[in-house]
Amino acid sequence: MDVNEFRKRGKEIIDLMADYYENINTYPPLSAVERGYLSKLLPTEAPQKPESFEDLIKDFNGKILPGVTHWQSGNFFAWYSSTASFPSLLGDMLSGMINCVGFNWICSPACTELETIVLDWLAKAFGIDDGFLATRGDGSKGKGGGVIQGSASEAHIVVMLAAREKMLNRLREQGMSEEEVASASTRLIAYGSDQTHSSGQKASMVIGCKFFSIPSNEDMILTKENLEKQIEKDRKEGLIPFFVCGTFGTTNTCAIDDFVGIGEVAKKEDLWFHVDAAYAGCALVCPEYRHLIKGTEISDSFNVNPNKFLLVNFDFSALWVKNSRYLRDALSCDREYYRNDASDSGDVKDYRDWQLPLGRRFRSLKLWFVMRLYGIEGLQQHIQRAINLGNWFEKKLLEDGRFEIVTPVAFGLVVFRIKESALDLGNETTDPKAIFEHQNDINDKLLKVMLSDGRVFLSGSKVKGKAVVRAVFGGTNVNQETAETLLNVTLESTNRLLGSSDG
Ligand code: PLP
């Protein structure tokens, strides 16, 4: 493909994308292909000779798109959203154009410096502690700053590694020999709650430490008391607590942990305090929600995924640390072939030391585009719209009378189920366990009936053993019309189910 053909085809692709987004809400959100469909449609070997662009696009439209689950559809309410936007997509295209591998500052100074600057912008827009800023309000350089990770899971791994290194260095400073430190490293234990995202456990698997999921309380949150109790027990058994994750907006129910309490324990017990605000953290762009992160001022690291709820295309996970030294202690691996004057001067950031891989994309461009072309006000409107739609849906379900809202509606997430009083239990069924199971069975079926309708896609879960349906209103193209479609599907599916369930 020469530059003239690129110019022509590029315009065609932009048209294809514009057509896709213009019609996005008309696609069935969930792909209906059978498992293994694609191997029946594609050859088993790559072509020897170049093929035509027309054939390629024909296959993209005819063979790939049918196998796509349309996350950008306004009828997609599953999991947490993945918010694409045109400004972000365009910024990402320019990142693809530059295609640098920005592991050191010298690899592309703009790639490093724009990242530092836009993550300071974002930290200020969220109102998180200014200890997370690379450059503080008075112009002084902080010890910390932001770095873009591919995912909240990677963020979890790198901060846990940093915390581990910090703890092991502390033990060395206290006079432990290398042999003793090696033995101590097998007794390290990290904490989250039973609602902490699986990435906490995965991080501990990667770094080779123990992870304990502390039972959440009836509000589904990690409390000071439960954390303290567990630490006391573990210390008695010779374990070494070193890390705790508090979540702002848990995956299941968007609950918010007791940050003030966790912070107090982390300080007293000398734990690294990580805040996972992957989805709900995006809502901090609206000042009215900032009181909810009280207590996180003393956290060591804070993570938000603008790709989940802030109109930045996947992948983009913003991680801030108060002291980048610990990341560098854990992740720096020098070689002669990385050396350059800028790095040797110590005046620049080399982000390879803040992440797992060496290479890194110019991801900051897409956030820069989004922040400049929406402005903070545009981002606030997006968040508020999702929250309002969630609240509207909750109101409609409650008005219907057959549903219960299982956990408080938060940041556009509605967790609901058909309530017991709406079920036909027959005359004899009084056993609470049988009723509980029956209600779970009905709600599992509700999700299946809703999905088989095909107009919407959403996911289910279990909350304290209760089968629930989750609807997330955060997506870029979710609007009043698609929210009404979801309501219609919910009510019609419930009619079908309760009409036919007959106890
Ligand atoms: N943390 C929370 C609270 C989440 O809800 C999720 C995913 O939804 C994650 C972490 C993992 O996100 P990622 O896919 O960026 O690793």
* H, E, C per residue of 425-443: CCCCCCCHHHHHHHHHHHH
CA of residue 173 to ligand 1 center, whole Å: 35
Domain range 1-30+69-100+376-503, CATH class: alpha beta
Q: In what order do the strands lie in the sheet with 145-149?
A: 145-149, 317-321, 301-304, 272-276, 240-247, 188-193, 210-214
- Residues lining ligand 1, Cβ inside 6 A: 80, 151-153, 197, 199, 247, 249-251, 276, 278-279, 305, 317
Query: What value does the mean pLDDT of the chain take?
Result: 96
Question: Atom 14 of ligand 1 has which residue's CA nearest to it?
Answer: 151
Cis peptide before 130 (omega within 30 of 0): no
What is the mean predicted confidence (pLDDT) over 282-293?
98
The DSSP element (H or E) to which 65 belongs, if any, is none
Chain segment 434-485, per-residue pLDDT in tens: 999 999 999 999 999 999 999 999 999 999 999 999 999 999 999 999 999 9
pLDDT tens figures, 351-370: 999 999 999 999 999 999 99
**Taking a C-beta distance cutoff of 8 angstroms, is the pair 276, 156 a contact?**
yes
Strand partners, 311: none
Distances (CA, A) of 245 to 74, 233, 241, 276: 32, 18, 12, 7
| More reliable by pLDDT, 501 or 239 | 239
pLDDT in tens, 18-62: 999 999 999 999 999 999 999 999 999 999 999 999 999 999 999
Which has the higher per-residue pLDDT, 500 or 88?
88
Is 276 in a helix, a strand, or coil?
strand
Question: Which string of b and e fits 167-183 if b means at least 16 CB within 10 Å?
Answer: bbeebeeeeeeeeebee
Q: Which atom of ligand 1 is closest in space to residue 79's alpha carbon?
A: 8
Question: What's the confidence (pLDDT) of residue 101?
Answer: 96
According to CATH, where is 3.40.640.10 located in the chain? 101-361
Q: Taking residues 300-322, what's their average pLDDT?
A: 98
Cα–chain-centroid distance for residue 503?
Answer: 39
What is the Cα 250 distance to its own chain's centre?
10
pLDDT of 500 > 80? The answer is: no
| pLDDT of amino acid 428 | 63
User: Is 227 within 8 Å of 265 (Cβ atoms)?
Assistant: yes
pLDDT tens-digit map of 176-185? 999 999 999 9
C-alpha span between 82 and 473 (Å, rounded): 11
**pLDDT computed for residue 226 by the predictor:** 97
- Is it the case that residue 496 has pLDDT exceeding 60? yes
Residue 493 has which token pair?
Answer: 């599916």
Mean pLDDT of all residues in 380-402 = 98
Mutate to test the pocket of ligand 1, among 71, 199, 363, 411 (most ligand atoms within 8 A of CB): 199
Mutate to test the pocket of ligand 1, among 276, 293, 302 (most ligand atoms within 8 A of CB): 276
pLDDT band at 429 (very low <50, low <70, confident <90, very high): confident
- As annotated, the residues of the chain forming the CATH 3.90.1150.170 domain(s) are 1-30+69-100+376-503
Provide ipTM, 2 decimals: 0.99
Question: pLDDT category, 502, cuts 50, 70, 90?
Answer: very low
**Separation between Cα atoms, residue 190 and residue 127, nearest integer Å:** 27
Query: Separation of 376 CA from ligand 1 center, angstroms?
Result: 23
User: How many whole angstroms from 278 Cα to the centroid of ligand 1?
Assistant: 6
**Phi, psi torsion values for 363, nearest 5 degrees:** -75, -25
Radius of gyration of the chain (CA): 25
Per-residue pLDDT at 503: 37
Contacts of 283 (CB under 8 A, 6+ apart): 249, 289, 309, 383, 387, 411
CB-based contact 429:416 (threshold 8 Å): no
Q: In what order do the strands lie in the sheet with 403-405?
A: 403-405, 413-418, 466-472, 459-463
Asked whether residue 306 carries a pLDDT value surpassing 70, the answer given is yes
Task: Answer whether 159's CB lies under 8 Å from 274's CB.
Answer: yes
Asked if 397 and 416 count as a contact pair (C-beta separation under 8 A), the reply is yes
Q: What tokens does 28 get?
A: 């069935």
pLDDT > 90 in the chain, percent = 96
Q: How far apart are CA 68 and CA 389, in angstroms?
A: 26
pLDDT per residue as tens digits for the range 121-150: 999 999 999 999 999 888 899 899 999 999
Identify the CATH class of 101-361.
alpha beta
* Strand duo 240-247 + 301-304: pairing: unpaired
Mutate to test the pocket of ligand 1, among 82, 83, 153, 293 (most ligand atoms within 8 A of CB): 153
Specify the pLDDT at position 32: 92
Per residue in 179-223, pLDDT (tens digit) is: 999 999 999 999 999 999 999 999 999 999 999 999 999 999 999
| pLDDT of 407 higher than 50 | yes
Residues 355 and 149 sit within 8 Å (Cβ to Cβ): yes
DSSP assignment of 352-403, as one string?
Answer: GGGSSSS----THHHHHHHHHHHHHHHHHHHHHHHHHHHHHHHHHHHHHSSE
Residue 137's pLDDT is what? 84
Whole-number Å distance, alpha carbon 310 to ligand 1 midpoint, is 14
